A and B are shown apart, each in its own frame.
Chain A
């Protein structure tokens, strides 16, 4: 799995490529922890190259939900494949996390606050 971080104003865009499993989840967790430490809590997740997400991968986002909220931030996911979206949907995460079509919508949602 590859993680690329791009900073645009106060928004951090994280591009995840490959499989987000138990091993790679540790790497992603470090990236998000560091972002929260620097109060970069407006995070968009580019999922266009994300081919698989395990429960450990989902756990990374779930574990930071409260911290993100308490600092007035959030995760916005975009360009998610149907198979990854169905994992979010079965678990019910689509009801508590923002998932949109593309980067433009994600940015707009982030600007709205």
Chain B
């Protein structure tokens, strides 16, 4: 519609006219009922004013309805296109996380990546290193939805590029912090766990960058332990100062040990009835109960227990989990 015509179509313009028209119509009917024979002059003037006025207002309303229907169709089409684009974005993001981990003699690994919306800010990846070592990373960008997903893609690219440089773990983390800080807005940050598996030594060397603690089933003591070693999220301290926060931990692996890395969506899943979060204790218990299974069996059991808690209407966050079982 031309901008200059807009005021004429606004309810504040036509509503008083409609009321006036209805009053005149009412008057006309009233007059025609009481003065059928002798007041034709007054009657015709009333009809003469009321009827064209009402007719034009009805035409105006009809025009508005047609325009509204057209606008609704446009909105529906736009929403459909948006949905299609989100589906493409979802597929692209799913392809950014590996479908499966490489087969290894000492490790059995299963993983899941499940954004709360079409796309999300979680991710995981792996990188084969020299001497048969394998690097594994899991991360969670602050926030949700499209902004988090765009950052997630950046982070994936940063880790992938840095692995071409054959850096030590500490140097890689410091460079990753620097690069991520340059990409993220000031209020965004990343939590992550970066770990390197050494098949010869049968060890994991890792750094917990402010991420949810690792849950480890210790086959020797048959207990689930929490590895909450100190560390700071990435892109919080921007610059070389971050170095003082990086502390690596090295742990020996025993056959049948299970390591579970996850994002906070798992712990924070809310039960719609009780409003209670799934919580760390349930996670621990569900790992304890499934420790004898394969990595994928443990993961399915833990997810089933989680899904029972949150139900089908539960409000979910992005959820990512890696289960590593030592052979």
Contact = CB atoms under 8 A, between A and B. Distances in A.
A100 interface: no
Interface string A57-69: 0111011011000
A104 interface: no
A90 B142 CA distance: 14
A55 B186 CA distance: 13
Contacts, number: 57
B186 A92 contact: no
B251 interface: no
Interface of B: 142-144, 185-189, 191, 209-213, 228, 230-233, 236-238, 245
Contact of B189 (A22, A29, A62): A62
26 contacts: A22-B144, A56-B142, A56-B143, A58-B142, A59-B143, A59-B187, A59-B188, A59-B189, A63-B185, A63-B186, A63-B187, A65-B236, A66-B238, A90-B212, A90-B213, A90-B228, A91-B189, A91-B232, A91-B233, A91-B236, A92-B230, A92-B231, A95-B232, A95-B245, A96-B236, A96-B237
A55 B142 contact: yes
B189 A92 contact: no
A93 interface: yes
Interface string A19-39: 000100000010000000000
A71 B191 CA distance: 28
Give the one of A58, A92, A93 with max B CB within 10 A. Answer: A92
Interface in A49-84: 55-56, 58-60, 62-63, 65-66
A55 B236 CA distance: 12
Contact of A62 (B143, B191, B228, B236): B236
B191 A91 contact: yes
Given A58-B142, A59-B189, A96-B232, 10 more contacts: A55-B189, A59-B188, A65-B236, A66-B238, A90-B191, A90-B212, A91-B210, A92-B230, A93-B232, A93-B236
Contacts of B245: 92, 95
A97 to B, nearest CB: 10
Nearest to B185: A63
A55 B265 CA distance: 12
Contact of A92 (B188, B212, B233): B233
A70 to B, nearest CB: 13
B238 A90 contact: no
A62 B237 CA distance: 9
A25 to B, nearest CB: 8
A56 B148 CA distance: 11
Nearest to B140: A55
A62 B231 contact: no
A95 B230 contact: yes
A51 to B, nearest CB: 12
A55 B142 CA distance: 6
B198 to A, nearest CB: 26
Q: Considering residues A55, A56, A58, A63, which has the most beta carbons from chain B within 10 angstroms of its beta carbon?
A: A55
Contacts of B230: 92, 95
A107 B238 CA distance: 28
Nearest to B236: A62
Nearest to A91: B210
Given A62-B236, A92-B245, A95-B245, A55 B213 contact: no
Contacts of B213: 90
Nearest to A62: B236
Contacts of A55: 142-143, 189
A91 B190 CA distance: 9
Contacts of A91: 189, 191, 210, 232-233, 236
A84 B327 CA distance: 38
B301 to A, nearest CB: 25
A41 to B, nearest CB: 16
Given A95-B230, A95-B232, A90 B187 contact: no
Contacts of B210: 90-93
Contacts of A92: 209-210, 230-233, 236, 245
